[in-house]
Structure 1
Amino acid sequence: MNQALVKHNFSYYLSLMSFVVSLLLNLKRPQFVQLIVLMGLGCSIQVQAEILNAQTQLSDKKQSVMRICYEDKNNFPFVTKFDPLNHNPNSIGQLGTLADLIIIAAEKINLSVNMVRQPWKRCIQSLKQGQVDAIFAAIWTAERESWGVFPKLNGAIDSDQRLWRAKYPIFTQKDSNLTWSNGHFSGLHLGVSAPLGYIAYDKLNKLGVLPSNNLSAEEGFTLLARGRIDGYVIEQYIGKNIIKKLRLSQQLSSLPEDFMQMDWFMPVSHQWYQQHPELTAKFWQEMSEVRKLQGEAIFNSYMNQ
């Protein structure tokens, strides 16, 4: 119990004792015994009530734990190969730019987070079923509101509370004839791919330009270098890192116009938001502040590794 509660109880019992002493001076013996019994019962009830009240206060103040899922791929510099289950999840500088932003923001509002890694589509399914409380990083669409709650302002998506703003170029061979302008491809022969489950994949599918096979980034860039597909779409820094790792930098480049620019968010489950609307809003706001104040420095710390 806090000091205010203790002070209140002391004043209460002092007043009670004054009343009892005054009453006892005017009572006969049988009445005195009855009064002592009643006082004992009353004190017992009072103590039990205060214990229950203290337990309730502690329960209310008990720290919530948010289960956060993110993709089990090395999407450097935003998420790294390190698994939070095998490393200290609070080790800033190991898990990636986005994970660091989230961890720092959570610490600032005294929120415990438990990070897990799964295939991206499984993260989405787990969020939908309430098996995890949040996922990152997700692009907003109206359809995605069926399984997640995104930050909004006056009914519209609030881009100020994004995790990050990302550019998605179209990677091609350096001597490719493929062009992209004003939402249209030209010089297309073999198709343009993107990771399955990503918004880029859905947009390419609507344009009717996907090749027959679903390709991971490594598979896509390998086939692109061999001239088996026309292009591959993925976030620019993730793509450049994979190309560097595959030693394809001399063969591949990107088109001048980006395929898309999108904001990344950390949506929460409907179940979590229903229980913690104020905490969620506070967390989103804190992440926005951390991104503005520390985001560039955190990002550069990974890029300079």
Structure 2
Amino acid sequence: MRINSLVYFFIASLMFTATAFSKPQSLVFCYEDKNIAPMFLGDGQNIPTDKPGASIEILQQLDLALPNVAISFVRKPWRRCLNDLEFNRVNAVIASYRKGRENVAVYPVDEQGKLQDNYAVSEFGSCLIGRYKFHKEWETREVFQNKAFTIAIPNGYGLNSALKEEPFFIHNTFSKSKAFELLDKGVVQASVDLCQVDGLKVSSYPYEGNNVKPIYPPYETSHGYLVFSKKFYEENNTLSWEMWEWLSKFESAPVYIKYLQTLK
């Protein structure tokens, strides 16, 4: 009995030592090299050390909370991030669901393959925004009207399928701030804005005194998921779910709202 106890103690000590000194799993996270507030701030390949953006701050907290993962960050054009994810040159990105992406990325799904929204990093609602006159005209619009409204849309945003059939003349801008500037000056009648975070009403529109407000309910609600490359997930299945579980318990809305308030 004494020998068995010593053997057990020796094995347990070895297991503890191996765990204590094992290296955390490296995870390379790729995100867009453009300023996309409040998720990502700054431009180019540099990773800001101060106020990097809400999504990056959340992942940094995830990194600190889980000792068995070490997250590093790289910035590239969005399509290159997705391409590198497909070919395992990076391990993860934050992405909404698009049909076909499941072929190159692993989303948090149940046994039936249904997306689990409670594991998402973010839940955003997007609204049309405009002045009181636009609100009233929007309520009485008719689908057959051709190009009845001019809307400023930042490059990369686009309009979802529900709005593509609406009578818009689209004015594309390089940035969200430029779209807001055109709306403030009255060059366009409408734009789009993040208007809801986890069910809480918010706004990033910076100009005051011109009565620009969102039209509720949001025309689109989207979820941003931390998704992994297929190879990373296959090799780190337990760790992947551990990260998703942590995100499901983390209150992300206050982080996004904090950044939105500093941008106004």
Residue number in structure 1 paired with 2:110 = 153
Paired residues, number: 241
Please, which of 54, 59, 84 is the counterpart of residue 97 of structure 1? 54
Query: What percent of counterpart residues are identical?
Result: 17
Residue number in structure 2 paired with 1:257 = 217
Relative to structure 1, the CA distance from residue 282 to residue 172 in structure 2 (aligned partners, 3 Å threshold; closer, same or farther) is same
Question: C-alpha separation between the residues in 1 aligned to 2:149 and 2:37?
Answer: 28
2:181 matched to 1:222? Answer: yes
- The alpha carbon displacement at 1:233 in A equals 2.3
Structure (1 or 2) with the greater strand fraction? 2
- The alpha carbon displacement at 1:68 in A equals 0.9
What are the within-5 Å matches in structure 2 for residues 184-195 of structure 1? 189-192=148-151, 194-195=153-154
2:190 matched to 1:231? Answer: yes
What are the within-5 Å matches in structure 2 for residues 145-184 of structure 1? 145-154=102-111, 155-176=113-134, 177-179=136-138
What secondary structure is seen at the aligned counterpart in 2 of 1:232?
A: strand
Unaligned runs of 5+ in 1: 9-53
Could you tell me whether the CA contact under 8 Å between 1:67 and 1:113 is conserved in 2? yes
| 1:138-180 CA distance string (max 9 Å, x none) | 2213232233221111210001101111110112244225526
What are the within-5 Å matches in structure 2 for residues 45-194 of structure 1? 61-81=22-42, 85=46, 87-88=48-49, 94-110=51-67, 111-136=69-94, 138-154=95-111, 155-176=113-134, 177-179=136-138, 189-192=148-151, 194=153
Taking structure 1 as the reference length, what is the TM-score of the superposition?
0.63
Could you tell me whether the CA contact under 8 Å between 1:172 and 1:232 is conserved in 2? yes
Structure (1 or 2) with the greater helix fraction? 1
Relative to structure 1, the CA distance from residue 167 to residue 84 in structure 2 (aligned partners, 3 Å threshold; closer, same or farther) is same
Deviates more, 1:152-161 or 1:138-147: 138-147
**Residue type of the alignment partner of 1:218:** S
Residue number in structure 1 paired with 2:3 = none
Tell me which stretches of 4 or more aligned residues in structure 1 moved more than 6 Å: 3-6, 184-187
Could you tell me whether the CA contact under 8 Å between 1:76 and 1:237 is conserved in 2? no
Taking structure 2 as the reference length, what is the TM-score of the superposition?
0.72
Could you tell me whether the CA contact under 8 Å between 1:134 and 1:269 is conserved in 2? yes
Superposed CA RMSD: 3.8
Q: Which has the larger radius of gyration?
A: 1
- The alpha carbon displacement at 1:297 in A equals 4.4
